[in-house]
Amino acid sequence: MSGFDKIDRRSWVDGAAGSAYDVDNLPYGIFSVGASAPRVGARIGEHVLDLTPTLGESTFDRPHLNGFMAMGTGAWRVTRRRLVQLLTDPARTGEVAPHLHPLAGVTMHRPFEVADYVDFYCSIQHATNVGKIFRPDGSALLPNWRHLPVGYHGRAGTIVVSGTDVRRPYGQRKAPAEEHPTFGPSRRLDIEAELGFVIGIPTHLGEQVSTAAIAEHVFGVTPLNDWSARDIQAWESVPLGPFLGKSFATSISAWITPLEALEEARVELPGQDPAPLSYLEVEEPAGYDLAFEVELNGEVVSRPPYSAMYWSPAQMLAHMTVNGASLRTGDLFASGTISGDEPDQRGSFLELSWGGTEPFGYGRTFLEDGDVVTLRATAPGALGGRIALGEVTGRIDPAHLDFT
Tens of pLDDT along 243-263? 999 999 999 999 999 999 999
Q: Is-contact 369 168, C-beta < 8 A?
A: yes
Q: Torsions phi, psi of 170, nearest 5?
A: -95, 160
Number of domains in the chain: 2
175 lies in a domain? yes
Question: What mean pLDDT is reported for the chain?
Answer: 96
Is the model's pLDDT at 337 over the cut of 70? Answer: yes
pLDDT at 6: 56
Reported confidence tier of residue 16, pLDDT bands at 50, 70, 90: very high
Q: Clarify whether residues 102 and 139 are in a common domain.
A: no
Q: Clarify whether residues 197 and 341 are in a common domain.
A: yes
Q: Clarify whether residues 247 and 195 are in a common domain.
A: yes
d(CA 134, CA 315): 27
Q: Clarify whether residues 153 and 85 are in a common domain.
A: no
Contacts of 346 (CB under 8 A, 6+ apart): 125, 126, 129, 302, 304, 339, 340, 352
Q: Clarify whether residues 68 and 167 are in a common domain.
A: no
Reported confidence tier of residue 7, pLDDT bands at 50, 70, 90: low
CATH number of the domain where residue 93 is located: 2.30.30.230
Catalytic residue among 47, 126, 217, 319: 126
Q: Clarify whether residues 72 and 121 are in a common domain.
A: no
3-state secondary structure of 126: helix
402 lies in a domain? no
Note the helical H segments in 89-120: 93-96
126 is known as an active-site residue: yes
The 10s digit of each residue's pLDDT in 47-85 is 999 999 999 999 999 999 999 999 999 999 999 999 999
Q: Clarify whether residues 348 and 385 are in a common domain.
A: yes
In the chain, what percentage of residues exceed pLDDT 70? 98
403 lies in a domain? no
pLDDT at 176: 87
- Please state whether the peptide bond connecting residue 285 to the residue before it is cis, i.e. omega within 30 degrees of 0: yes
Q: Clarify whether residues 82 and 167 are in a common domain.
A: no
Which comes out higher in pLDDT, residue 134 or 7? 134
Q: Clarify whether residues 100 and 138 are in a common domain.
A: no
Q: Clarify whether residues 278 and 248 are in a common domain.
A: yes
* Segments forming the whole domain that contains residue 31: 3-109
Mean pLDDT of 343-350: 98
Q: Clarify whether residues 66 and 104 are in a common domain.
A: yes
